[in-house]
Amino acid sequence: MSDVQWKNPVVKWVDERLPVFSLMHHSTVGYPTPKNLNYWWNFGSLALTCLIIMIVTGIFLAMSYTPHASMAFDSVERIMRDVNYGWLLRYLHANGASMFFIVVYIHMFRNMYYGSYRAPREMLWFLGLAIYLAMMATGFLGYVLPWGQMSFWGATVITNLFSAIPLVGDDVVTWLWGGFSVDNPTLNRFFSLHYLLPFVIFALVALHLWALHVVKSNNPAGVEIKSEEDTIPFHPYYTIKDLYGIAIFMIIYLAFVFWAPNFLGHPDNYIEANPMVTPPHIVPEWYYLPFYAILRAFTADAIIYIPFGWFFITPKLAGVIAMFGAIIVLFFLPWLDTSKVLSAKYRPVFKQFFWIFVINVLILGYCGAKSPTDTLFGIKLEIVSQVATFYYFAHLMVLTPLIGWMEKTREVPNSIAAAVTKPTKTEEA
């Protein structure tokens, strides 16, 4: 880090005592980045953009929000009607959450396609999953704050998941609520935690970036950096590319904010919370839907439930275990993937299965949105979600190792430079 000589005396003075300028230099101009990153690699900086937008809009919204069960709904309406540009802040925040998840999902699928979770980037992947988990918690807590019908019933349903824990489940739920139902104490603590968690995410992001700078970016070729020929400085090449990406992202994001601000929300949340009336269809926010489908897939007569039955696990607990397991299993991905090749670009079989997996997750999402008694292509969604749940785990735990062993991979270029200068036939295809 000490390789830079600063000319400006003030900068030099500060840097000798606290090397912030060297750090900035090191992580931008001095940071060698693979020269072949495609636009899928934009989603990391987009996620950071989203986080910053969420934190800033959130701080300003908190200035006008009242976390009290009898005032929260009206205080949100006051933000929408009376606070200067309050509608803008709130719609930026509400749609920003959805955009953040879209961006992070694409970021994760990109990682899975190009094998970015593989050695030596396991820690980077773990930190990413930790961020994702913290985001899910934050998103859930935040959705409760407007105190609409979906807020209230979403909070009730999700906190009730913990009642599936054997022996202490009910006590845990009472503890989470701070009472005997979701009420004012629940709202108060949810607000407190919703304000706290984004800063935890921010710290995790710092670690995520630190880990990235240690192991360097993966790239579409999936081969490590070997020489200077393989890299270009992050700045200005990727700063300008990221900025361009952010501008395009803002167009999509703000189009929602200005013209369809409630499209991704649920109408029922414009009805104030009523503990005496449950809405006909309780649905979580779209970004939880695949997991919601996994949760619901475990009914007493489901084939996937049978092995749980051997251990006297109730279907309810089985669903909860599977839902959390769906994320836990991702932590083992670096070892479940046995292939010698990282990038799906050179893995013809894995590539196909990757896209099937993506479609499977989307189908799970569809199942989560609809009632189990609805149908998809004439098949009851109850069945569809059971099959899709099974396939989700089968892909990660069985197919991924098997394909790694059995697949005949294409020839991998010797270096990043070689991948860029001499495009092989496979790459053209």
Partner 1 sequence: MRKFVISAVFGAVLAASAVVGSAFAAGDAVKVEGQDWSFSGVFGKYDKKQLQRGFLVYKDVCAGCHGLRQVAYRNLLEIGLTEEAVKEYAAEFEVPAGPNDDGETIVDGELLVRPAKLSDKMVPPFANEQAARVSNSGAFPPDLSLMTKARMNGPDYLYALLTKYEEEVPEAFLKEYKEKHGEEFVLPEGMSFNHVFPGYQIAMAQPLSEESVEYEDGTEPTLENHAKDVTAFLNWAAEPELEARKSMGVKVMIFLLLLSVMLFALKKRIWSDVH
Partner 2 sequence: MADTASTAVDDNGTEESRRDFLLLATSAVGAVGTAAAIWPFVDSMNPSADVLALASTEIDLSPIEEGQSITVMWRGKPVFVRNRTADEISKAQAEDSAAMVDPQKDGERIKEGKDNWLVLVGVCTHLGCIPLGQKATDPKGEYGGWYCPCHGSHYDTSGRIRKGPAPTNLPVPPYEFTSDTTVKIG
**Residues assigned a catalytic role:** 213, 217, 241-242, 285
Using the rule CB under 8 A, give the single segment among 12-20, 37-45, 164-172, 339-347 that binds partner 1.
Answer: 37-45
161 in contact with partner 1 (CB under 8 A): no
Nearest to partner 2 of 68, 78 (CB atom):
78
Minimum Å distance from CB 307 to partner 2?
Answer: 53
Summarize the chain as % helix, strand, coil (round to 5).
Answer: 70, 5, 30
One residue of 126, 270, 331, 390 binding partner 1 per CB under 8 A: 270
- Whole-number Å distance between alpha carbons of 355 and 399: 13
Minimum Å distance from CB 123 to partner 2?
Answer: 30
38 in contact with partner 1 (CB under 8 A): yes
Which residues lie across from 272 on neighbouring strands? 148
Window 18-47: residues binding partner 2 (CB under 8 A):
28-29
- Whole-number Å distance between alpha carbons of 136 and 105: 12
Using the rule CB under 8 A, give the single segment among 21-29, 231-239, 339-347, 391-399 that binds partner 1.
Answer: 231-239
Minimum Å distance from CB 310 to partner 1?
Answer: 34
Count of other CB atoms within 10 angstroms of residue 16: 12
What stretches of 196-270 adopt beta strand conformation (E)?
A: 231-233
Supply 37's token pair. Answer: 């990153």
Minimum Å distance from CB 157 to partner 1?
Answer: 14
Nearest to partner 1 of 106, 329 (CB atom):
106
Using the rule CB under 8 A, give the single segment among 34-42, 230-238, 261-269, 420-428 that binds partner 2.
Answer: 230-238
One residue of 252, 303, 379, 406 binding partner 1 per CB under 8 A: 252
- Whole-number Å distance between alpha carbons of 42 and 107: 8
264 in contact with partner 1 (CB under 8 A): yes
Ramachandran category for residue 362: left, alpha or beta (phi over 0 → left; psi -120 to 50 → alpha) = alpha
One residue of 58, 67, 86, 222 binding partner 2 per CB under 8 A: 86
Question: What does 258 interact with, of partner 1, partner 2, none (CB < 5 to 8 A by kind)?
Answer: partner 1
Q: Where are the alpha helices (DSSP H) in 260-399?
A: 289-297, 306-310, 315-331, 333-336, 348-369, 381-394
Minimum Å distance from CB 101 to partner 1?
Answer: 8
Radius of gyration of the chain (CA): 24
**Amino acid identity for residue 405 in this structure:** W
Which residues lie across from 34 on neighbouring strands? 231
- Whole-number Å distance between alpha carbons of 371 and 388: 15
Supply 208's token pair. Answer: 């995520």
Window 152-171: residues binding partner 2 (CB under 8 A):
none
The helix or strand, by DSSP H or E, that contains position 266, with its residue range, turns out to be none
Which residues lie across from 233 on neighbouring strands? 32
Nearest to partner 1 of 18, 251 (CB atom):
251
255 in contact with partner 2 (CB under 8 A): no
Question: Exposed/middle/buried for 231, CB within 10 Å: 0-12, 13-18, 19+?
Answer: buried
Contact 187, 147 (CB under 8 A): yes
Window 374-413: residues binding partner 1 (CB under 8 A):
none
Residue ranges in contact with partner 1 by CB under 8 A = 35, 38-40, 74, 77, 80-81, 87-88, 91, 98, 102, 105-106, 109, 232, 236-237, 240-241, 243-244, 247-248, 250-252, 254-255, 257-259, 261-264, 266-268, 270-271, 280-281, 283, 285-287, 289, 358, 362, 365-366, 368-371, 420
Residue ranges in contact with partner 2 by CB under 8 A = 28-29, 56, 60, 63-64, 78, 81-86, 88-89, 233, 235-237, 243
